[in-house]
Structure 1
Amino acid sequence: MNFTDSPSAHAEIAGTVQDHVDAARLAASLAALARFGGRDDGGVSRETLTDIDLAARRHLIEQARALGCEVSTDDCGNLFFRRPGREDLPPVLTGSHADTQPVGGKYDGAYGVLAGLEVIAALNAAGVETRRPIEVVSWTNEEGSRFGPGAMGSSAFVDPGRLAIYRDAVDPAGVRFGDALDAALTASADVPRLPMPRPMAACVELHIEQGPVLEAANVPLGVVTGIQAVRWFRVDCAGTMAHAGTTPMAVRRDAMAVAVAIAQELYALAPRDAAAGSNELRLTLGRWTVAPNSVNTIPGHVSFTVDMRCLDDAALDRAEAALRAACVRHAQASDAVTVERFFHRTPTHFPGTMLDAIERACTRASEQAGRAMPMRLTSGAFHDAMYLADHCPTAMIFVPSKGGISHNAAEDTDATELFLGAKALAYTVAELACR
């Protein structure tokens, strides 16, 4: 099919590509990758840069080459699968990540990569040549479960200066990320290496929702408007270790009592019966350390982390102020409670032109399937698109997650909804690549 430079022609080409997405081919591709790290409970264990992950990377390279793609990598081990266009312009990028949590599911990340390769297969089957190249990416270490932080590959691609810091990250076994990365690059010595960053015309990431909103609404496709802001804090409470049986309550300096009082005030900031909207404040007190952690000793030190998320940064300002005030109020001495903010990411708002393109794609796919029209929603989880949004026009498509479950072997999405998501992605990527 020849390229014609008009919006109506772009829409016609995009529709043709969407109609060539093959459900059986996509399902087989997902099943094949899930065998790398597959578990008896149906889940997948494929942490970044392990031997299993390296084998999965080789599988993806072979799959992409079989589709006629040029394969490349970069200094952070990100894999790019390129379908050339009529002109050597900045490409349209799609994809996600193939690494999982220690116990993850078959679709978190992997679905976006394999749906991107299905778009290439659909373009080939339709005989469509786009104006721009299209690249499918598999980012390195999105999950951050083996090496922290997460989203290393996408964030280093956008800002290569981060890579030097990331290389010193160490996993629980004492392995440096830099050493594991070098081994991965050596294992793919047949893959050319390209610089970071490179210009991109646009980026579209398809992902399972990992939450309950789409399923509850019985809507198969979500147009993601943005990603919540997040702030992470570490709170340290100091007290005095003493005997649990001999120390009167009135004279105790109990670090746990202080920590619990602060925690109760925090939980009151985000009542569970509040309406679950895009500006809902979400709080998680996720990691606790107690010393000496003994059944019959008053805790002398307690530390815990606080994860605050909201699309409204002003709401996080108020929540942070409340946290700091609570720490001062409950401290039993001037230096007995300290609070440190160790991560802060402002809200990500995807551009309206990208949202409109995705909505057109999702609407056509939904109409053809006789399903409800797409809805707009916000992502509460980090995604690689969060960093790509700093680099080029970016947006996301969500498909439902059964029970809202992810990071779990029970993670699941209906096959028809996985198919519709790939169809929406195909239309969006093809239309963008015609521009």
Structure 2
Amino acid sequence: MAEKTALKVAGFVSQQRLLDRLAELACFGALDNGGVDRQALSDVELTARAWLIEWARALGCTVMTDDCANLFIRRAGREDLPPIVTGSHIDTQPGGGNLDGCYGVMAGMECLSALNDAAVITRRPIEVVVWTNEEGSRFSPGAMGSSAFVHPSRLADYLPHQDAQGITLAQALSRCHQRFSGLPRRAAVPMAAFIELHIEQGPVLQQAGLPLALVGGIQGVRWYQVCCHGTPAHAGTTPMADRQDAMTLARRIMQQLEQRAATLPADELRLTFGRWHVEPNAINTIAGRVTFTLDFRHPDAAVLARFDAWMQQLAAENVAVACVFSQAPVAFDPTLLDAQFACTQALQIETTTLISGAFHDAMHLASHCPTSMFFVPSHNGISHNPAEYTDPQYLYLGAKALACCLTELANQPTGVNHEHSHLSSLL
């Protein structure tokens, strides 16, 4: 059960202030169609950072950064202990909405405002973090900032990566650090826990009629590229029995994979055939080469391994199969999820538990500290789109649950075991 102090802070969360701040952030990179284009480390994103830094300092917080330009906003606690952390990202897709990532940051800042209004000083510090380049729409890969925070050695490999204009990540980071040269670097202090609040980006919560979900983990992912070889020939003169049609072969493989995938539980399965490239791609020529990609997602590592075996069985003299990306499933900390559930119960917010089908920064943080997430509903499941929308009441309830949970965790005893599997000592 949440303590009275945590419930008090939740009571000071302001729905109107949260909505106003979301609207202010949406002005940075606003598009005529109501969407937002705020690419990572772009001029408009740096201007949004400057606005956020000014706001943080007005709240009495200190602001720090690191080598990957992640932004850490710290509200001091009574004791200098590893902090309880929340946050997300403020970079968007080129034609994105104003909630993806942004809601998690603005809700975190609202929690700090509520703590101030409630005149509560927590035992531990609380931090709101803005992770760099989560979307990956300017620099690849996505979730770059959180990845480099947890695994600093990865940053050197990311630095040469270029955007569409040929600007390297190293150059973009240099401009950012020059603009905010007065920001101190965050010390290598571990986080006591990380909770990310995010829109669902899918339809499940709305269909269930629920305002909030605890996120139990993130699905594992496999990306494969399949290349089918045939013989280009004249479409009008080559009999059907004599053809070596790469497109026919590719379609047969796709159908085979769909049939196998149909044997798996449909509610947890995600299979997408995405990019297709046909050569010579002429209306009257039999395809000589077809390359396609597929994205397979599932929360069970054993199912992912079975799919890997299926893919390897496809390889043949005229079929080349390559795994281009592999991500293991992530299970969030069960004790932390219990703490979140206790807060939602105390606030009388009905919840369910979901598995995320999308990547989030929490995916990387899960190997650094006890980690979990909250989801609020997405209207019609729409995201990465100007039509992205969540009912303001749901945004408000998510922020209240977050404020309660952050306060509760930040007021726990000092004897904390920072091993991932021993969060019970924090609770």
Q: Which interval holds the TM-score relative to the shorter structure?
A: over 0.9
Partner of 1:221: 212
CA distance in 2: counterparts of 1:183 and 1:241, whole angstroms: 50
SS of equivalent residue, structure 1 residue 192:
coil
Alignment deviations for residues 309-346 of structure 1 (CA, whole Å, 9 cap, x no partner):
11111111222222332x24xx5xx2x21111122111
Match among 258, 276, 293 for residue 288 of structure 1: 276
Worse-matched range after superposition: 10-19 or 387-396: 10-19
Report if the CA contact (8 A) 2:6-2:407 is conserved: yes
Q: How does 1:41-190 map to 2 (within 5 A)?
A: 41-190=33-182
* 8 Å Cα contact 1:78-1:138 kept in structure 2: yes
1:212 to 203, 213, 218: 203
Aligned counterparts of 2:365 and 2:144: Cα–Cα separation in 1: 12
Contact 2:245 2:286 in 1 (8 A): yes
Distance between the aligned counterparts of 1:364 and 1:301, measured in 2?
Answer: 60
Q: How many residues align?
A: 412
How far residue 275 of structure 1 moved from its aligned partner, in angstroms, is 6.1
Could you tell me which runs of 5 or more consecutive residues in structure 2 were left unpaired when the two chains were aligned: 413-427
Q: Which residue of 2 aligns with 1:434?
A: 411
Which runs of no fewer than 5 residues in structure 1 stay unpaired?
1-7
| CA deviation profile, 1:344-395 (whole Å, cap 9, x unmatched) | 1111111211001111222233x2xxx6x21111111111001100000011
Structure 1 counterpart of 2:223, one-letter code? W
Correspondences of 1:374-385 after superposition (within 5 Å): 374-385=351-362
4+ runs deviating over 4 angstroms: none
Per-residue CA shift, 1:227-269, capped at 9, x if unaligned? 1111111112222333333333333322222111111112223
More deviation in 283-292 or 19-28?
A: 283-292
CA spacing shift, 1:293–1:179, aligned 2, 3 Å: farther
Q: Distance in 2 between matches of 1:187 and 1:434?
A: 35
Task: State, as a whole percentage, how many aligned pairs show the same letter.
Answer: 56
In structure 1, what is the equivalent of residue 238 of structure 2? Answer: 247
Counterpart in the other structure of 1:344: 326
- Secondary structure of the residue aligned to 1:16 is helix
1:404 aligned residue: 381
* In 2: Cα distance, 1:134 partner to 1:271 partner: 45
Give the Cα separation in 2 of the matches to 1:93 and 1:362. Answer: 18
Whole-Å Cα distance in 1 between the matches of residues 63 and 385 of structure 2? Answer: 31
Query: How large is the Cα RMSD of the aligned pairs?
Result: 1.6
Query: 2: CA distance between counterparts of 1:263 and 1:362?
Result: 44
Q: Tell me if structure 2 keeps the 8 A contact 1:262–1:323.
A: no
User: What's the offset of the Cα at 1:405?
Assistant: 0.9
Equivalent residues in 2 for 1:209-358, closer than 5 Å: 209-271=200-262, 276-277=266-267, 280-325=268-313, 327-328=314-315, 331=316, 334=317, 336-358=318-340
- Rounded to whole Å, the distance in 1 between the matches of 2:194 and 2:89 is 14
Per-residue deviation at 1:276? 4.9
Which digits, 9 at most, give the CA deviation of each residue in 1:108-145, with x for residues without a partner? Answer: 00000010000000000000000110110000011111
For residues 164-212 of structure 1, the C-alpha deviation after alignment (integer angstroms, 9 at most, x for no partner) is 11112122222212211221221211211235x5310000000001111
2:421 corresponds to: none
What's the counterpart of residue 390 of structure 1? 367
Please tell me whether the aligned partners of residues 270 and 282 of structure 1 are also in contact (alpha carbons under 8 angstroms): no
The offset of 1:90, in angstroms, is 0.5
SS at match of 2:3: helix
Give the alignment's TM-score, normalised by structure 2. Answer: 0.93
Residue identity opposite 2:135 in structure 1: E
Q: Calculate the TM-score normalised by the size of structure 1.
A: 0.91
Q: Give the letter for the 2:282 counterpart.
A: S
| Distance (whole Å) between structure 2 residues aligned to residue 65 and residue 287 of structure 1 | 46
